[in-house]
Chain A
Amino acid sequence: MTAAPLTLGSDAPAAAAPAPRRRHRPSPRFLLGRAVLYLLLLLFLVPTLFPVYYVFAGAIMDPRELAAFPAQLVPTGVHPDNITAALDAVPLVRMYGNSLVMAGIITVSQLVTSALAAYAFVFLRFRGSAVVFALFLATLMVPGEATFIPNYLTIASWGLTDTFAGLVMPFLAYAFGTFLLRQSFKQFPRELYDAARMDGMGHLRFLWTILIPLSRPALTAVGVYVFITSWNMYFWPLIITRSSQMQTLQIGLNSLKTGEASDPGLLLAGAALSVLPTLALVVFGQRFIVRGLTAGAVK
């Protein structure tokens, strides 16, 4: 192909608005390109946003509107029935708390263990440093599913099934955070470190009062990443919790489903309630998320 069949890019002057007016007539070729571009975008946008829309629309529908065939697509008014029913069916508030506590403990613990380990790799000289770091990286290659059976047996033998300890223990440290924080610590100006050491500052104090505050962007990125992934965990909480008092929000959503004849309003209300915190994170904290989640990609 020598000539581009469509003009998707902006080869017209930047003054041309997306919805061109009659005043300065853009070329028909340009207009056609624009039209095709927006049509294609719409084709992707509608299926992407429809579930996002419908989870909230359905949550506030009258249960009868949802049960009808074909199901209503637009709610006629705000009906709290689905939401109250979902809150009655399972202890969603308690499960919210469980998820929050679990994800919170895991996030704080991984930040602490990762920061310490990364510090050892960057600022402390010891024999075998490179080998140990390679071993740390190797742990990232093991999928959790390959270790869940023995881990389940371990937790069960300690009598910790259905407890917070059982939920969080295998995830208290994870080498991904160490890896990212090591990258960040390596950027730290060596002169500053030498000066602090020269002044007789101990390693722990240097780490706590200088390095951590100056590494806040990297720590935030790791923290957001760890929080979202542990908030969304499914397999491990499913096998390690029994009672609805200890189940996390994600498992609670599954128990809203009762066979084929599940109440759609109940499911949508539960999903809508559960997604609010992460939706807020994605809408308002996208910068941090991008940094945390694409850290491996942007090299």
Chain B
Amino acid sequence: MTTTPTATAPPEAPPLRRTRRSKETVLAWGFLAPSIVVFALFLAYPLGRTVYLSMHGNDIIGRPSRFVGFSHFAEMASPEFGQVLLTTLLFTLGTVVPGVAGALAIVLLLEGVIRGQRLLRGAFALPFAFSVASASVIFVVFYSSGNSVLNGILYRVGLSQVPWLTSQEMALWSVCITTVWMNLGYGVLVLAAGIGSIPKEINEAARIDGATGVRLARDVTVPMLGPQLFFLIVISTINALQGFGQIHILTRGGPSGSTTTLVYSIFEEAFAYSTSDFGRASAQALVLLLVVLVCTAIQFGSIERKVHYA
């Protein structure tokens, strides 16, 4: 153990006289102290500072200068930032919808497999092993215009070439394809675990009633998967909103800003160039925070509900 807490951090001494109680209180705060220190330094304080920075201008190396009020937020009413939000929305839809639908289709098809089901499920889970960076680097090779693995395959079967990363219309969808591929394994694992937790009797009862194949899937399995599907949709949405590595490696937000999502825009303002605009970046970070908060609140709300039902 590296951080054995010394019981020296009781922020509030209880008024109770009984020693057992107060000893427990001291110990409790001592046990919580390591976590609280990290959260205070790297979560609570930064949130406050983000708000502060978002209302200040800065010099070219990012040091805050004068108070500018809400002008960074007012600047967001520009067509450029509108484009960033639209790209974020399209990227979210373009990864969540095919990702969840694909994972669902795969686990339902796997249910019909009699032999080798586990092996196949394991095969579908493999992309999960790939980090954002390794997956993106592979797709850099797949999409590249020089040798072009994907265009080579299209060429072999007589189809026309696709400007995967070089066209403004295509680049975002290419980034989406990479994202869907690397998240597929996780979706399959989550939904397969959900199917595994459906009581056997339910399937048997449905089978005795004559439900098979598509009907079994549609009327029994999918409704029973409701909680897992919901969880997967929320988690995928949050992941998409935070998606960064694949954009940084594949497109650097381009061409012409066509793949600049909210997170990438924050990075560009704050870290991408020798000049840093921490004020604008912080204002955008607050927008991101708000959107993610709403998504997480929806998720937490639903967990709460399920616990009450259980």
Contacts and interface: CB of A to CB of B under 8 A. Distances in A.
Contacts of A136: 35, 39
A117 B32 contact: yes
A203 B152 CA distance: 65
Interface residues of A, number: 111
A147 B138 contact: no
A18 B113 contact: yes
B57 interface: no
Interface residues of B, number: 124
B100 interface: no
Nearest to A261: B146
B128 A282 contact: yes
Interface of B: 1-3, 5, 12, 14, 21, 24-25, 27-29, 31-32, 34-35, 37-39, 41-43, 45-47, 49-50, 53, 62, 102, 105-106, 108-116, 120, 122-142, 144-149, 151-153, 155-156, 181, 184-186, 189-190, 192-194, 197, 207, 212-217, 227-228, 231-232, 235, 238, 241-242, 244-245, 248-249, 263, 266-267, 270-271, 278, 281-282, 285-286, 288-289, 292-293, 296-297, 300, 303, 306-307, 310
Per DSSP, are chain A's interface residues mostly helix, strand or loop, or mixed? helix
Nearest to A58: B141
Max chain A CB contacts within 10 Å: which of B35, B62, B231, B292?
A: B35
Interface in A112-158: 112-114, 116-117, 119-120, 124-127, 129, 132, 136-137, 139-154
Interface in A23-61: 33, 37, 40-41, 44-45, 47-49, 51-52, 54-55, 58
Given A11-B213, A14-B114, A137-B300, A297 B120 contact: no
A37 B120 CA distance: 13
B131 A268 contact: no
A199 B49 CA distance: 49
Interface of A: 1, 4-11, 14, 16-18, 33, 37, 40-41, 44-45, 47-49, 51-52, 54-55, 58, 66-71, 73, 108-109, 112-114, 116-117, 119-120, 124-127, 129, 132, 136-137, 139-154, 169-170, 172-173, 175, 178, 203, 231-232, 234-235, 238-239, 249-251, 253-254, 256-257, 260-262, 264, 267-268, 270-271, 274-275, 278-279, 281-283, 286, 289-290, 293-294, 296-299
A127 B140 contact: no
B126 to A, nearest CB: 5
Contact of B288 (A68, A117, A146, A170): A146
